[in-house]
Amino acid sequence: MQQLQLAKKIADMQQEFVIVFEDEDIILTNKAFNRFFGVSSTEEYKSSFGAFINNFVPHPSYFNAQKIEEGETWFEAILKLDEIDRVVSILSSAHEPCAFSVTLDESLENLKIVTFTDITQSLIKRIMIENNASVDRKTGAYTKQYFLQIKQSFEEAAVFNEKIIGLAMITLNDEIESDAAKEFVDMLKKHTRQDDMLIKWSKEKFLMAYLVDNEERIQQVKNKLHSILSNKEINPYAFELTNTHQTNEEKISMLLEKLY
């Protein structure tokens, strides 16, 4: 019992969901798991929910009960898949679907330690790239939809790398045809950093999203972008340029509001 209590304390420190099964019976869940399902304890979860496999949304893109053969446990079935395909979709207590990669440890006799890592944002990004939905075909810039889908990942990258997010909205005042728009995008990509994101925001607007170390560097990026756009030899179009950046770790949605 003391070992189980120690294991729970360690599991409660994890951001991932941690569940311990004895055979197929749940004997431990951590705080992250309980919070996701809106319960206060393992006992409350077990009394409120049915078989654990029923949590997996029956979608063809994810592992679920329909992919288990007769006489097989879900543990056995998911381990038959390649690691990259061990992904399930589960609804939160707010009925929001989330995607998780599943890791299963069977090194302890009769016990299975299962870890669920939230990969919702990275999976959306992967699916969109696979479906070629990340890039606007006419211009070669990222699509607005793609940027809005991965903006949380962009914010997390800024926090992890201790960077500041900067946004620049470029509004072209002249009408621009598809071929010319692609040339415009190619020109900006050529003269800006490889890691900067150029997004086709609307018919006449492009958004540049970037990460920098400090506010001094922000000003340098602003000046460089204005200099590029003002050079008539490489950009013949009249434009308006609006800039903003984080001053207190604001979310991207708040920064976008400042641009309008």
- The answer to whether the beta carbons of residues 123 and 87 sit under 8 Å apart is yes
Query: What pLDDT is attached to residue 46?
Result: 93
What whole-number distance in Å separates Cα of residue 168 and Cα of residue 206?
8
Percentage of the chain surpassing pLDDT 70?
A: 93
For the packed helices 144-160 and 120-130, what is the interaxial angle rounded to 10 degrees? Answer: 140
The yes-or-no verdict on residue 16 having pLDDT over 80 is yes
Per-residue buried b or exposed e for 40-64, using 16+ beta carbons within 10 Å of the residue's own CB: eebeebeeeeeebbebbbeeeebbb
Whether 1 shows a pLDDT value over 80: the answer reads: no
CB atoms within 10 A of CB 25: 9
| 9 or 232, higher pLDDT | 232
Q: What is the pLDDT of residue 2?
A: 56
Give the contacts of 53 (CB within 8 A, at least 6 positions apart).
Answer: 64, 65, 68, 74
Region 117-136: mean pLDDT is 73
Q: Does the pLDDT at position 103 exceed 90? A: yes
| pLDDT, position 59 | 81
Domains and CATH numbers, the chain: 2-118 (3.30.450.20), 123-259 (3.30.70.270)
Q: How much helix, strand and coil, in percent to the nearest 5, is found in the chain?
A: 40, 25, 35
Question: Bridge partners of 165?
Answer: 211
Please state whether the predicted TM-score (pTM) of the whole model is above 0.95: no
CA distance 209 to 206: 10
Q: How far is residue 234's CA from residue 256's CA, in Å, rounded to a whole number? A: 27
